Amino acid sequence: MKRTCTKCGVEHPVEFFNKDRTRADGVYPQCKDCTRGNCRRVYSKYHDKHIALKQRWKDGTASGVGSTTGNTGKTAPNGGARQPPATKRNCGGPLRLGSTARS
């Protein structure tokens, strides 16, 4: 079975297309070569920006890092310290009569 790429317009066998479960035919409309080329263009276009953001995260100066809670910009009441994980409720314990069990 053959298919035409929507970007380059060349007809390829279906094996030249990535799988895509969200589409009715199960394959991505652009061939792998066009998809790969597009990914490389985007990567090279935003490479410096990505590296700078990684460095800011490493330094702890990016927004959302440190002692803020979410995107509100408010200081956490405990000074930004991590909270212990919440305890699980009703996990693996015996079932009681009259209670509703969730699975």
Give pTM, 2 decimals.
Answer: 0.47
Q: What is the pLDDT of residue 1?
A: 85
Write out the two tokens for 69.
Answer: 């809670």
According to DSSP, residue 75 is labeled B
- Name the residue with higher pLDDT: 32 or 77: 32
Contact assessment for residue 34 and residue 5, using Cβ atoms and an 8 Å cutoff: yes
Q: What is the pLDDT of residue 64?
A: 55
pLDDT digits (tens, 9 = 90+) for 34-63: 999 999 999 899 999 989 988 988 888 766
Which residue's structure tokens are 């405990």? 78
Phi-psi region of 34 (alpha: psi -120 to 50; beta: other; left: phi over 0): alpha
Is residue 9 very low, low, confident or very high in pLDDT (cuts 50, 70, 90)?
very high
**Alpha-carbon Rg of the chain, whole angstroms?**
25
